[in-house]
Amino acid sequence: MAEALVLLTTWHLLLFRTFYFINPYHYATSELLEQVFPSWLHLGRSLRHGRLVVEDPYYYPDYAGLPFLSSFYPPHMVSAWLGSWLPLNQAFLLLVLTMVSHFLAASVSVYILAISMGFAPLPAGFASITLSSLGYAMKQNSCIIYTLAWVPSVLLLASQHSMTLTGISLGLMLLAGYWPIALYAVPLACGLWLLH
* 60 vs 110, higher pLDDT: 110
Average pLDDT over residues 179-193: 88
The answer to whether 48 and 70 are in contact (CB under 8 A) is no
C-alpha span between 190 and 178 (Å, rounded): 19
pTM of this prediction exceeds 0.85: yes
What are the pLDDT digits (tens) for 95-108? 999 999 998 999 99
Residue 126, pLDDT above cutoff 70: yes
Residue 189, pLDDT above cutoff 80: yes
Task: Enumerate the domain spans of the chain.
Answer: 2-140
What letter would DSSP give residue 52? S
Helix (H, G, I), strand (E, B) or coil at 120: coil
C-alpha span between 70 and 43 (Å, rounded): 10
pLDDT at residue 135, rounded to an integer: 59
Alpha-carbon dihedral of residues 162, 141, 130, 182, nearest 10 degrees? 30
Helix (H, G, I), strand (E, B) or coil at 111: helix
What are the pLDDT digits (tens) for 30-80? 788 888 899 999 999 999 998 877 777 778 888 888 888 898 999 999 999
Distance in Å from the first CA to the final CA of the chain: 23
Average pLDDT over residues 158-173: 92
pLDDT band at 195 (very low <50, low <70, confident <90, very high): confident
